[in-house]
Structure 1
Amino acid sequence: MAELVPFEEITCFFEDFAHTAWRLETRRGYASDQLGPKWARFRAGETAFGYQPEQPWHANVRKQTGLGKRFERVRLVDDPPTEGQRFLLASGLGNVEAGEDIRNLYRADAVPIGLPDDDFWLFDSRTVVEFVFDGNGQDLGVRILEDAESVVRACRVRDAAWHHAVATQSFQARMPGTLRGRR
């Protein structure tokens, strides 16, 4: 098994990839989201977080997509969505405006097509960055995998998920009123 490294050690991948950065998100919520300033706004009822050019993630996505690279992700969503998933749907709109193609797939639809429960990034169909979480959703680090078996598996998962997933705006249109945080 590959060594566990802090996520901060792989942030260069988000600038250095040549063609595609693809993500599968399977968690029902992320502890890191609850630490950010948008979480409190979401819990107070805000449901749309637009593009913020000064925000580092948005700035980098805009820069990389401007160079012709693609940022894509598929998020698994429960029915009904968890609070963490509703937050991701609301906050993902800014990522989409920045240039990221985010699609969603109900968890029940992911099971028959064999999608795994693990979160990962796939860079240029050659490097897999697999997340490791504790029981509370806290990110413990990542494993960098470049062996053929791991990469082929990730590519198959990407292809199946992408085929069945629905663009964020279309997905949200199907679920009016469910994005609100707790008040």
Structure 2
Amino acid sequence: MTNPVLEGLAKARRSAVHLELRDTYQPSDPEFIAWQNGKRLDPAADRSTWWRPFLDVVTETTARGVVIRRARVVSEPVTDYIRYEYDVTFPNVAAGELVRWLPRRKAADIGLPGSDLWMFDRESVLFTHFSGLGEVVDREWRTEPEVIRLVESAFESVWERATPHEEYELV
């Protein structure tokens, strides 16, 4: 089975944006559970101890000149899962992603899509649908111009207001 995000990144020519809207994802993820039990990634350690295969694709994609931006809309105070995401974001940045954080209260007047998504080259959107507990249920590709416009407007509004990862402080 292929990964649609990796497919989208492989085909991207100019841009890829990722909008994350949930406060908890896949609570059964073994890496999250290990983090809860005290495991921390060490940026000073051997890269192989914290580098993930997904980041090879990000590095290859950004090396082709594709700009990858990730924006996370989060409730404050943040959940343990968001603390985990924050803690493991430095590899994404090292791979070439631009990452920003926006407190949910600052997004109250932005028309946001109902699901997390990736948008590639402002031509296609991959929505990820989750269960209430944060497990992936389904993914759906959309290419209608009105969907692209909604996603582009929402993402750019979030991006404009959001704080770069290096400056964001968890609350």
TM bucket (normalised to shorter chain) is 0.7 to 0.9
Match of 1:24 in 2: 19
Match of 2:38 in 1: 45
Residues 9 and 123 (structure 1), Cα distance of their counterparts in 2 relative to 1, 3 Å cut: closer
Distance in 2 of aligned mates of 1:60 and 1:10: 10
Unpaired stretches in structure 2, ≥5 consecutive residues: none
What pairs with 1:12-161 in structure 2 (closer than 5 Å)? 12-31=7-26, 34-36=28-30, 38-48=31-41, 50=43, 52=48, 55-161=52-158
Distance in 2 of aligned mates of 1:85 and 1:10: 21
Q: Normalising by structure 1, report the TM-score.
A: 0.82
Q: Retained in 1: the 8 A contact 2:113–2:150?
A: no
**Deviation of the 1:23 alpha carbon:** 0.7
Q: Retained in 2: the 8 A contact 1:23–1:122?
A: yes
Instruction: For residue 28 of structure 1, give the secondary structure of its aligned residue in structure 2.
Output: coil
Instruction: For residue 142 of structure 1, give the secondary structure of its aligned residue in structure 2.
Output: strand
Distance in 2 of aligned mates of 1:88 and 1:49: 14
Match of 1:181 in 2: none
Distance in 1 of aligned mates of 2:51 and 2:78: 29
Distance in 2 of aligned mates of 1:103 and 1:71: 11
Q: Retained in 1: the 8 A contact 2:5–2:118?
A: no
Distance in 1 of aligned mates of 2:113 and 2:147: 12
Residues 170 and 10 (structure 1), Cα distance of their counterparts in 2 relative to 1, 3 Å cut: closer
Unpaired stretches in structure 1, ≥5 consecutive residues: 1-5, 179-183
Matched to 1:154, the amino acid is: V
Instruction: For residue 65 of structure 1, give the secondary structure of its aligned residue in structure 2.
Output: helix
Percent of pairs with identical residues = 24
Residues 54 and 103 (structure 1), Cα distance of their counterparts in 2 relative to 1, 3 Å cut: closer
Distance in 1 of aligned mates of 2:72 and 2:4: 24
Q: What RMSD in Å do the two structures reach over aligned CA positions?
A: 2.1
